[in-house]
Amino acid sequence: MTRRELLLAMGAGAAGLAQAQLGRTQKVKKTHIVTLSFDDGFKKSFYKTAEIYESFKLRACFNVIAQGHLENFGPTINGVPDAGIVPFPKGDFSDWNALKKRGHEVMAHTYDHKNLTTIPLEEAKKDIDRCVEEFEKNLRGFSARDSVYNFAYNASNAELDAYALSKFLVVRSQGRTAVNPIPTVRKPVRTGCWSHGPENCDAFFEETLNEFLASPGGWFVFNTHGLDNEGWGPMSSRYLQDLLARLVKLDHIEVLPAGAVVQRLPKPAR
pLDDT digits (tens, 9 = 90+) for 99-111: 999 999 999 999 9
% of the chain at pLDDT higher than 90 = 83
pLDDT score for 27: 67
Provide mean pLDDT across the span 98-126: 98
Residue 21, pLDDT > 60, answer no
**CATH code, 31-263:** 3.20.20.370
pLDDT score for 217: 97
pLDDT confidence band for 268 (50 / 70 / 90): confident
> In the Cβ-directed half-sphere of 196, how many Cα atoms lie within 13 Å?
16
CA distance 242 to 239: 5
Q: Which residues contact 32 (CB under 8 A, 6 or more apart)?
A: 212, 213, 215, 217, 218, 220, 250, 252, 253, 254
Predicted TM-score (pTM) of the model is 0.88
User: Tens of pLDDT along 39-78?
Assistant: 999 999 999 999 999 999 999 999 999 999 998 888 888 8
Dihedral sign computed on CA atoms, order 229, 39, 178, 118:
positive
CA distance 1 to 182: 52
Peptide bond into 183 cis (omega under 30): no
